[in-house]
Chains A and B, each alone.
Chain A
Amino acid sequence: MPALPHGDPAPPNGRLPRANLDAAHGRPFGFYVHVPFCQTRCGYCDFNTYTAAELGSGVSRGSYADTVLQEIRLASEVLGDGDAIGDRIPPVSTIFFGGGTPTLLPAEHLGLIIREIREQFGLAADVEITTEANPETVTPAYFTRLREAGFTRVSIGMQSAVPHVLEVLDRQHSPGRPETAVAEARAAGFEHVNLDLIYGAPYETDADWQTSLDAAIAAQPDHVSAYALIVEEGTALARQVAQGVLPAPDDDVSADRYVMADETLQAAGFSWYEVSNWATSAAARCRHNELYWSDASWWGAGPGAHSHIGGVRWWNVKHPVRYTAMLESARSPAAARETLDEQARFTERIMLGVRMRAGLSVAELPPASQRLVPQLATWGLIEHADTAPDRVVLTQRGRLMADAVVRELLA
């Protein structure tokens, strides 16, 4: 993951201003749990994750869950703020385990974390509990244990069905394995299964991408996320591109691939609900991610994890050793925080809202931005929603230009 943002200092006890706690009142609440371990490091990945070799002896996978439990208890103190927690925060509606590779931990350890969240905060009746899974780390038995631990959804990192693309991306699984994993998850009782795909990798062709899309659809997930490969600073991929060993992804090619994905997925019964996400039905959408885009509250536990409560965003220290040490000494692992002012909240509302199928309500835009709507429509970037003409939604071309649209609307 890239360097943490700059922010204001966070207090050692992690306490939040009462005003922000009040602002979060009644907003949906979720948990993100970061698991910072990977078997190997993929060349394109800039997430906050570490191989056993990189981590050395400072932090063990075996005791990681215990450390997270401490942060969950801290969360309960902070959010309860002396009151009964239920008075301030609704039961948890979503939990998402990301990484790293959460499935490197025993399913029982993930279960302990879920249990602690339930004990501290309670779970909503229709709680969505997702874990990311690398196809090579899971087995039918593991999926069964995930179910037993309470998981309702898995997100499998497929990335590509083409061997030379997987190789460029340093992915360890063999082609075909992700599709099998989907079947195994289904067999274990998972109704919701996502496949993650990456397009625009060096040397990937249009035909390769079509192969990957077709393979993903054939595996019958109910959700697909497709991301353009981004050359992130500080990654092995960035070095290889800088040295000319690998060609840099081309924006026009990425645009073509996005269009291919959108057309192919639509034809297969998926519809987009966010720029990079497609689902077969409203129920198949990832409600946890929708939380991020709709100004809801969540607590991110684990090193480098970000949280948002009522207009305060904060982020934990990045390194697992430091993270563990802080919690061991009964301190909040927060590295810094920022309190959003009106302007920042507005920027975020536009920036996040515009990415979603529901789009933006024209009436909620300031007059100056409203005046730009016809121009953006002329450029073919936005259109009025069929079902709600008072809202504007990105067109397919507009989804590819979402950041430009945001800049126009904010200017």
Chain B
Amino acid sequence: MTAQQIPAGHTDPARIRNFCIIAHIDHGKSTLADRMLQATGVVDGRQMRAQYLDRMDIERERGITIKAQSIRMPWTSRETGVEHVLHMIDTPGHVDFTYEVSRSLAACEGAVLLVDAAQGIEAQTLANLYLALENDLQIIPVLNKIDLPAAQPDLYAAELAHIIGCDPDDVLRVSAKTGEGVEDLLDVICRDIPAPVGAADAPPRAMIFDSVYDIYRGVITYIRVIDGHFTPRERIKMMSTGATHELLEIGVISPEPKPTQGLGVGEVGYLITGVKDVRQSRVGDTVTDAAKPAKKSLGGYRDPKPMVYSGLYPLDGSDYPLLRDALDRLQLNDAALVYEPETSAALGFGFRCGFLGLLHLEITRDRLEREFDLDLISTAPNVVYRVVLEDGTERIVTNPSDWPTGMKIAETYEPIVKAMIIAPSEYIGAIMELCQERRGALGGMDYLSPTRVELRYTLPLAEIIFDFFDQLKSRTRGYASLDYELSGEQLSDLVKVDILLQGEPVDAFSAIVHKDKAYAYGTSMTAKLRKLIPRQQFEVPIQAAIGSRVIARENISAMRKDVLAKCYGGDITRKRKLLEKQKEGKKRMKMVGRVEVPQEAFIAALSTGDSAEAVKK
């Protein structure tokens, strides 16, 4: 197969097939994509880098895709002999990025539903499948890893057939690893996925399904053309903001960017305008010609909305300017990241940051530490609360320290999610128990097959941003999978619990919790701090309080012994060095009132796992 017979720019839409691959982490999406690149001759075996599409280090390590990419591949159907242009549009692979996934799906006419033949479908895949069905995508069910000894293709083919309502014989079987069945799959894509339809003569419209910042080129925007034609050097307009830019370059990716003389109906590619900030090129927005703009946008655009907030603080206070620069840099490539300066009495200067979800938080933190060489403390994440005061005014609270105090609170609201959990049926009990502990309400349950079940719950978002997923995994021996989407808010009885050291509140430890869990949070946090904070010269009470009411108390008794019994000739050097080290350690202590708290205590007390431990008890 020789690559690239049909030049990009004026491809006959009838020859185009736009598709994505919906798959769970580890089910082999990247390997299949790699294999397709090879089979279509876009990448030869020698250049093949494992998992070509996942470019960020963190993506490679975690085996997930954060940023979508798209690749143009030529393929001549062996059934019809007709040459096609395939656009494979990658989709982000995590629950935090549901909106991005929906935009990737909206750029396609079909989806390959890829499922591990040894594991069956997972919740997230199912959720994305539903999204695809809502978008009227043609689904091609595929079982991967049929070469595995543990594969049960018949069982899972039946499951897939049951879910999407097809014949089990229609489920393709491939091994992305060996390449078996991949060429057949390419033929089926050509056969079954509808060609894109659009008005070639209408004012041009394209949907942005991703944008990434490149230090050399500025923002690279990935688009799917719906109507009309885009040509280089024309002025384009972003319909959500009305901003116009000159189209410096337009092209396709195959697998490296290749400039073209334009892009037409149904084509997928990239454009570059020279903007330096992805917020000027937003996922879901419609691009049109500034000179003769389309009257209507394609719809479906949504501003990214942070759902989880956390304070990020440099371990070393003098790194604060570095952290600010690093966040500025990251934001160039992450339209969903928001932050503003914040000061904590305990942690010093830092930033209150908003994220799409917990993974988004972790990835951002990871990148700050890795790419910018920063050591950070992050405060326990919290969701966004709505507080209605008795006088009728309303507060949006993204930080426990903004919780109204000294005012009469009428009602408090917290965000909720609709969650879908898929697991072997033997774990129903364990899952229900976990969801009940987390204030979940069961919405329904369906058997996907005689042994696998789908449970639907409504849960407070705050309950799942701690270790819900870890707990779910451990209580189902790793078999359960989870997906959730935001589903508005609910009235809840929420309180702010403060933690006080010697009567001084430690802002970093304050938390908004449900009233029924306030006591548990208070007792476990005070107990944990008692273990983490070294004894001082004086007694230190640790209290948990709601307003002025103390709900839990621990005591750190005064230290009584801090002396080396022996200090003779051979001990002096060692002892002096020890003291010098301790002196350095003392400098790193944070003072809360008169109490010296080691930084490690803050880190340990704020670590997500332990906080969840705290809430669980």
Interface residues of A (CB under 8 A from B): 1-2, 5, 7, 32, 227-228, 230, 251-252, 254-255, 258, 275-276, 289, 292-293, 298, 300, 304-308, 313, 315, 338, 344, 347-348, 351-352, 355, 379, 381, 397, 399-404, 406-407, 410-411
Contact = CB atoms under 8 A, between A and B. Distances in A.
Interface stretch (B296-304, B472-480, B560-568): B560-568
Interface string B543-582: 0000000000000010111111111111011111101101
B200 to A, nearest CB: 77
Interface string B270-300: 0000000000000000000000000000000
A104 B412 CA distance: 80
Contact of A348 (B557, B566, B572): B572
Contacts of B572: 292, 306, 308, 313, 348, 351-352
Contact of A401 (B559, B568, B576): B559
Contacts of B574: 2, 5
B537 A400 contact: no
Given A5-B574, A300-B569, A352-B567, A347 B561 contact: no
Contact of B579 (A313, A351, A379): A351
B123 to A, nearest CB: 43
Contacts of B567: 275, 292-293, 351-352, 355
B610 to A, nearest CB: 24
Interface centre among B538, B566, B575, B576 (most CB of A within 10 A): B576
Interface of B: 537-538, 557, 559-570, 572-577, 579-580, 582-583, 586
Best-surrounded residue of B560, B563, B572, B580 (most CB of chain A within 10 A):
B563
A317 B574 CA distance: 16
A228 B561 contact: yes
A277 B564 CA distance: 13
30 contacts: A1-B570, A2-B574, A5-B573, A228-B561, A251-B561, A255-B561, A292-B568, A300-B570, A304-B570, A306-B569, A306-B570, A308-B572, A313-B573, A315-B570, A338-B573, A344-B576, A347-B579, A347-B580, A351-B572, A351-B576, A379-B538, A400-B560, A402-B563, A403-B563, A403-B579, A404-B537, A407-B583, A407-B586, A411-B583, A411-B586
Contacts of A307: 569
Given A227-B566, A300-B569, A306-B569, A406 B579 contact: yes
A404 B575 contact: no
Contact of B537 (A258, A304, A348, A401): A401
Given A315-B570, A355-B567, A407-B583, A402 B577 contact: no
A399 B563 contact: yes
B128 to A, nearest CB: 50
Contacts, number: 102
A381 B538 CA distance: 11
Contact of A403 (B538, B564, B577): B564
B569 A32 contact: yes
Given A228-B561, A400-B560, A402-B563, A410 B579 contact: yes
A338 B572 CA distance: 12
A315 B561 contact: no
Looking at A1, A306, A379, which has the most chain B CB atoms within 10 Å of its CB?
A306
Given A5-B577, A255-B560, A401-B559, A228 B565 contact: yes
A252 B560 contact: yes
A411 B575 CA distance: 16
Task: Kindly list the 10 A-B residue pairs having the minimum CB-CB distance in the complex, ordered from nearest.
Answer: A255-B560, A227-B565, A402-B563, A306-B570, A251-B561, A404-B562, A255-B561, A228-B565, A5-B573, A403-B562
Contact of B582 (A1, A32, A407): A407
A400 to B, nearest CB: 5
B428 to A, nearest CB: 40
Given A306-B573, A344-B576, 12 more contacts: A1-B570, A5-B573, A292-B567, A300-B569, A306-B569, A308-B572, A315-B570, A315-B573, A401-B537, A401-B561, A403-B563, A410-B579
- Output the residue of A305, A348, A403 with the most chain B CB within 10 A: A403
B563 A289 contact: no
A348 B576 contact: yes
Contacts of B579: 347, 351, 403, 406-407, 410
A32 B577 CA distance: 22
A27 to B, nearest CB: 14
Nearest to A376: B537
B575 A351 contact: yes
A276 B565 contact: yes
A394 B143 CA distance: 77
